[in-house]
Structure formats: structure tokens, C-alpha cells
Amino acid sequence: MIKLMTAAERHHAEVGDWLQSHYLFSFADYYDPSNVQFGPLRVFNHDIIKPHTGFPSHPHAEMEIIQIVMEGELTHKDSLGNEVTLQAGCVQRVTAGTGITVTETNENDIPLHVFQLWFLPNKRGLAPSYEQMHVDFLGEKNKLVPLVTGQKVLENVAYFNSNSTIYYASLSQGEEIDFKTFKIRKTLIYVLEGSLLINNMEVDTHDQVRLEEQTAISLHGTGDARIILVDVPATEVNY
């Protein structure tokens, strides 16, 4: 099964005058019972945070939280004592586990462009923990770059407690990437910008494609394009 969801089908949210966000799944005041999760992937938000604003201190529990910084700088503080600033090309993983409190802000003078993905973890009751890694993925061309994984088959990436992997790719017009998968896996592809064919289906900026029961996925650039690809198990995790 291949399902195309257009850019217009994302949920647009504005929080005050400081946050512009698009939700790919039910989140906050947006609830669609047919669009709650995809395997263990529970949240995929495309956030733009204005300068000198951000999320005040708030709690999380029983979730693996990934943030991918695309532009600007993300300042993170948490109840574990971490105080760090992540620049573009950095990936952050927070294992909320039994409970953690975090503050996420943009202390810079330019907007912060960040993707926020939440996954239900492999098991409950994990100790809270934090990891960040500068993957330097933004300059890579025409290949899938792993950013974070829980499959333990990839090196030099952040690790999280989910049998899943998040990839980034910048695909030039006329170039192709093939991704091998299995019928027991699912794949979500979100187009950050540009246009491409995904298994011969035309997709454009901010479209997403959700694929199930595939063995191979072909990406062909009809224009220059950038994507996030999320590989997850088909089995849903529910708590």
C-alpha cells in the first residue's frame, strides 16, 4: 500500500506569535482517530520558532523524543542538568522514560527550523537520558544519511530505544536512490522541499508518502529535493 498525503492535509498550528508548526499526526488540539501514529512513530512536527522565544519548562514521560535542527540554533535545558546549544546539522535524542523536564528555546536572532519526532519506546520504565550528535548531514548529496537508529546496525549515529531509523537525503534532479525494505516494515517519507517520484508516484514540497508491505522504494529526483525518511516496524506499539 502506498498512501499520498498532500501538504494541505497537514495540520497547521500557531502558538501565540512565536511558533508556526505543521503536525503530520494528531497532536495537542488536533485529533484525528485515523491519524494517530505510524508503527511506533507518534509525533512528527515541522516547527519554526521565532528568535528569543521557545517552549517553557514542561514534562515528558515514556517517549523517545528526536529533534533535528535544520536552521538556526536550539538551546536545550533539562532536569538531568544538561544545558546545551545545538546548531544546524545536529540531532538530539531525549529518552523521557520515567520522567524528565525540558526547556527548548531559540536564543538566536534568526528563526529556528527544527523537526520534532516522538516514538513510543521499546519498553516502559527506562531511565531518563540525553544524547546529541553533530551528524553534519546537510551537505551530503544523493544518498540516505542515517541520523538516529535503534537497530544497532549503523555507526556514528545517535541511538534511541525504538526498532526504527530516521534518514535524511538531498536528491539532485535526475538522480536516484533505492531503499531496501521488508513487508514487515513501514516507511514514511516527508518532502522538505522540491519534487520527486516515490515508486513512480509524483510528490511535491511538504507532501508525505506512507508505504506498507513494500520490499523496495525508489526515489527519483524530478527536481532538486530534500526528504526525511522514517523506517519503522509494522507492529504498532500501544501503552
Per-residue model confidence as pLDDT tens digits over 185-201: 999 999 999 999 999 99
Give me the number of domains the chain comprises.
1
Residue 238 lies in a domain: no
Residue 57 lies in a domain: yes
CATH number, position 130: 2.60.120.10
Q: What is the mean pLDDT of residues 42-67?
A: 97
70/190 Cα distance (integer angstroms) = 14
pLDDT at position 235, please?
80
Closest of 228, 154, 150 to residue 194, by C-alpha: 228
Residue 126, domain extent: 2-233
Residue 37 lies in a domain: yes
Residue 135 lies in a domain: yes
224 HSE (CA, 13 A, CB side): 2
- What tens digit of pLDDT does each residue of 201-236 get? 999 999 999 999 999 999 999 999 999 999 999 987
Residue 76 lies in a domain: yes
For residue 128, the 8-state DSSP code is P
The more confidently predicted of residues 176 and 16 is 176
